[in-house]
Structure 1
Amino acid sequence: MTDMRWTNEFLDSMRQQCDAPADEAVRSLFAQGQVGSANELMRQLVAHETVVAEQLPAPLRGYFEQSARLPSWADKQLIYEGQAVFSRCGSLSIVALICAALPTCYAGAQGVQVLHLTARLETDTKRRIVETAQMVVDVMGHGGLEPDGWGVRDAQKVRLMHAAVRHLIRQSGQWKPEFGEPINQEDMAGTLLTFSVVTIRALVKLGYTLEAREAQAYYHAWRVVGYIMGVDERLLPENLEDAELLADAIFKRVFRACPEGQAMTKALIEQVEHIIPGDLFDGLCRTLIRHLVGDDVAELLAVPPADWTRALIKPLQLLGWVMDEGDEANVVNARLSELFGRKLLEGVVWVSRGNERPPFRIPEQLREAWKVRSREQQL
């Protein structure tokens, strides 16, 4: 039964809505001739970690000042508790991000068209893995949502980049009206829900038991991020239970097989195997995707069948971890998944982000808690 707050009619209307403040800031930039192209604007945003108001063009000063304000309903204690959950979950959070949240995004057949239109599959997939992981670490790291915290700045910049992408796509003439507006409110909300609802569900499947308060705190932190990123508050439910209803309503509407989503998923799997050195974990990414998103969604994405013996049992045996005979229900072992996530995160730390981009940043507190080696330690 559809929740009357999120009927098809309402969600259809949200596909025609974008983000007026960010779109107006970008429009003003171009109108005043202060930026040559949307691509140039995005290069400037990713090349600078910090944003100094005095150095910004006038149209952006007001945007950054206003968008940095947290909502009146933001609960600092819940935010801290949600960030503490992230710290305790360790690299399982990164596994949930890469093997559940991103594939779920690719299952949205209309929203994925934006990624496909703007992506060079190999280079952009690697960049998306690294920069999405960076944003998650920045948002959920201690202090990330404090004034001038890394998470607030990341969310502001991503929001502005979305506006630049909308400008670029509208100019391209390649966008189909039946997709709704590019990066519209329904797609923005659906993406945000992958970082909260989908991630929470994935953590449980990976063996991390979340208390009700912990799950609500984790969701609340991302609800605040959604506000900063310009998601309509009607698409930011107050509690996790309602957020799950909204997520399921949106996913039911937008999930559909399409060549673009399948290509993005294939590139994701290939890049994960490329980022992690050696071949011990080959096959594990696709196996975890199937486990975390379910076979129905995995089929939409054309994820190859999971070779459980090669992808899970063999690594467990090689690492000297003993499994109970016949315990196939527990094949997705939390310990193995955590090690996979740690190796993936170490690979992300190592990956070059290009000359214009700063190196991957992970707080020392998280690095030590997660036992992730730095670039220097890997040399």
Structure 2
Amino acid sequence: MTATDDDTSMDALLHAGDELADATVAALFERGEVGTFNTLMRYVSTAGSPLPDGLPDVARDYLEATRVPPSWVDWGEMERARLFFIDNNVHISTALSFAAMPACYVVPRVARLLSMTHGLSYPSKRMAETGQFTVHLMQPDAFEAGGKFVPAAQKVRLLHASIRHHLRRDDHWDAAELGTPICQQDMIGGQMFFSMLVLDSLHRLGVHMTQEGAEAYYYAWRVVGAMLGVDQDAVPKSLDDARLFLDRYMVANMGPSEEGAHLTRQLIDLYEEVVPGTLFDPLVSALIRYLVGDTCGDWLRVPHTAWDTVVRTVPHLLNVLETIEDRSPLGAWALDRLGHLTTALELSSLTRGRVMHYAIPEQLRKDYGVSDAVPRTRRWTPPPPSVG
């Protein structure tokens, strides 16, 4: 594919949405059925549950069409991804929180959209929803009857469509300049942040990963993307191709913005509130800056702290802990349990103990805001940057 072909493809993705979800949401608004849908869907939280009586027909058709994962899913690979997550859950949570989330704010149009749709002052709702969504994905029964991931994915997909609907209808978005809100290009970019960028961050932190584990984790997010309406013909299939797309996406789109800096400040304040006491508060900024790099850190106005040097020792500490885990079954068990408890505590702190519900906003309001199964061989290293 030539550079011109790449440009044409990226431009097409910038102006494409999600036809199925967009049509469903448009019909719900046209018929005045959004309130009814939201009320009834609060009772649908597990896969296989009977759909409630009175559900609008267009919503019922959508839920039936999206109730199963893609036919191409390799369930062995998904199990490897789940085991990888169990083995690295605290590290993955750290990478999601301190790298993937801030990376979203480095794309000005994404930062603008986020600031318009969930409020600058309350990023905890989106953080809690993201954390809960990821935990649902990595449960053994995620795609089985009784699992919570599929209904969550169905609702998130409609939530994205509702944001597109509002911004287009209310003329709050310059589509000629910015493309479609939550366009295919940004959805794939987000998928890269939560998969490829997370793997990059784990490597930077010194986490031991196998090639098989890294590939399985990336594969799981391809499945997630398919469930969220991402065009799979445009999604990179391998880690090498993912590197090419992520580099191209970031070079074309990243930069400073007031919204990005404001969102980052609110995110830092949120994390500092979760961290007990005040002694370790500067570690939050230092870790974000370390993982996203100084250029992005400057764009996001992440403050320099005395911890900037200290945080560079984290990979050495994690390397020691990972070595213990590699060599000792008891050590592996203890660290896995610690990771599970840490992730649970972080999610509990963000949700305040509540279950997060995904609903279609009727208007945009300011307050809306790998284990023993995979041998530890063939250590994974990220593909090199494709642009220089």
**Partner in structure 1 of residue 84 of structure 2:** 85
**Partner in structure 2 of residue 168 of structure 1:** 166
CA apart distance, 1:144: 1.8
Letter in 1 for 2:247: D
- How does 1:165-244 map onto structure 2 within 5 Å? 165-177=163-175, 178-244=177-243
**Partner in structure 1 of residue 317 of structure 2:** 333
CA apart distance, 1:193: 1.0
Instruction: Structure 1: give runs of 5+ residues left out of the alignment.
Output: 313-327, 359-379
Letter in 2 for 1:257: P
Contact 2:37/2:59 (8 A) holds in 1: no
**3-state DSSP of counterpart to 1:61:** helix
Q: Which has the higher contact order (CA 8 A, sep 6+)?
A: 2
Distance verdict in 2 for CA 1:32–1:102, change over 3 Å = same
- For 1:341 and 1:106, the matched residues in 2 are separated by 28
Distance verdict in 2 for CA 1:34–1:223, change over 3 Å = same
Letter in 1 for 2:45: E
Contact 2:44/2:151 (8 A) holds in 1: no
**3-state DSSP of counterpart to 1:236:** coil
Distance verdict in 2 for CA 1:45–1:264, change over 3 Å = farther
- For 1:270 and 1:102, the matched residues in 2 are separated by 14
Deviations along 1:186-223, whole A, 9 cap, x unmatched? 01111111111011111112221211111110000110
Deviations along 1:35-82, whole A, 9 cap, x unmatched? 25xxx9668767863464234321111111212332232110001101
**3-state DSSP of counterpart to 1:73:** coil
Letter in 2 for 1:333: L
- For 2:309 and 2:195, the matched residues in 1 are separated by 31
CA apart distance, 1:285: 1.6
Distance verdict in 2 for CA 1:257–1:342, change over 3 Å = farther
- For 2:79 and 2:30, the matched residues in 1 are separated by 41
Match of 2:130 among 129, 132, 141: 132
- For 1:5 and 1:98, the matched residues in 2 are separated by 35
Distance verdict in 2 for CA 1:245–1:355, change over 3 Å = closer
**Partner in structure 2 of residue 282 of structure 1:** 281
Contact 2:286/2:308 (8 A) holds in 1: no
- For 1:44 and 1:275, the matched residues in 2 are separated by 33
Deviations along 1:102-153, whole A, 9 cap, x unmatched? 0111111112221111122222x01111111111111123232346632222
**3-state DSSP of counterpart to 1:237:** coil
Deviations along 1:237-266, whole A, 9 cap, x unmatched? 222221121111111111011111111111
Q: Which moved more, 1:189-198 or 1:340-349?
A: 340-349
Contact 2:40/2:52 (8 A) holds in 1: no
Contact 1:6/1:249 (8 A) holds in 2: no
CA apart distance, 1:164: 1.0
**3-state DSSP of counterpart to 1:277:** coil
Contact 1:68/1:152 (8 A) holds in 2: yes
Contact 2:13/2:184 (8 A) holds in 1: yes
Contact 1:95/1:340 (8 A) holds in 2: no
Contact 2:271/2:284 (8 A) holds in 1: yes
RMSD over equivalenced CA pairs, Å: 2.9
Contact 1:200/1:215 (8 A) holds in 2: yes
**3-state DSSP of counterpart to 2:121:** helix
Contact 1:276/1:344 (8 A) holds in 2: no
Q: Which moved more, 1:244-253 or 1:329-338?
A: 329-338
Distance verdict in 2 for CA 1:221–1:145, change over 3 Å = farther
Deviations along 1:254-293, whole A, 9 cap, x unmatched? 1011111111111111101112222242111211111111
**3-state DSSP of counterpart to 1:267:** helix
- How does 1:45-60 map onto structure 2 within 5 Å? 49-50=45-46, 52-55=50-53, 56-60=55-59
**Partner in structure 2 of residue 308 of structure 1:** 307
- For 2:50 and 2:168, the matched residues in 1 are separated by 29
Scaled by the length of structure 2, what TM-score is found? 0.79
State the identity %: 33
